[in-house]
Amino acid sequence: MALLRAESLGRRVSAERWLFRNLDISLDAGEQLALQGASGVGKSTLLNLLAGLDQPDEGSLLLEGKDIAFLSAQEQLVLRRTVFGFVFQAFHLMPHLNVIQNVMVPCLIAGLPLEQAKHRSEALLAELGLANSYELFPAVLSGGEQQRVALARALVHQPKIVLADEPTGNLDPVTAELALNVLCRSCREHHVALIMVTHSDKAAAQLDRRFHLTS
């Protein structure tokens, strides 16, 4: 049984127009999938649907065989906090928290002890070249540094699925390769599934397979 499966998924733009329709996609535990397509075909929208952040206009979304639509609001909230890790195009870092605190948040929400959350966060940030930035606040970080903090935050609680929307889009080539390697390696080591939206064929080639979304 697939970890995550979308069946005949459809999303409207208006009453007359569909962004996509009759979409089937599946993801196995530990599998890494690149989601590609031209701008405007609905890649980010599909990512939000897969995470349960938005509802499809038709079709179903199954997580470990259970239809997400039939979960209560509280169950869906717990699911997003524990099963999924997110890397958004807009970093969504908390401006009033420093780097280490931002990364620790998913662990603390999941109920990990403070010291364990701190240890995991420090280790991931060091891997991403941010060992000297623990006490800094998002406002003083570059876009690339903020992206790496967001990447660490998505991985730190060891979710079952990481959903990444252009996770290296704001990084220079060297840092992008480092971040992508950490993302892929960490997911493989912990048997975490990964869906990554990317325009980069080079990045997509590092994943297990590609899914092309067309209009």
Q: How confident is the model at residue 54 (pLDDT cuts 50, 70, 90)?
A: confident
pLDDT at 90: 75
**pLDDT tens digits, 124-179:** 999 888 999 999 999 999 888 888 899 899 989 989 999 999 888 777 888 888 88
Higher pLDDT, 78 or 17: 17
Q: What residue segments make up the domains of the chain, in order of their start?
A: 30-55+73-212
Percent of the chain whose pLDDT exceeds 90: 57
Give me Rg for the CA atoms of the chain: 17
**pLDDT tens digits, 29-50:** 999 999 999 988 999 999 989 9
Q: Which CATH class is domain 30-55+73-212?
A: alpha beta
- Residue 81 CA to residue 96 CA, distance in Å, equals 20
- Mean pLDDT score across all residues of the chain: 90
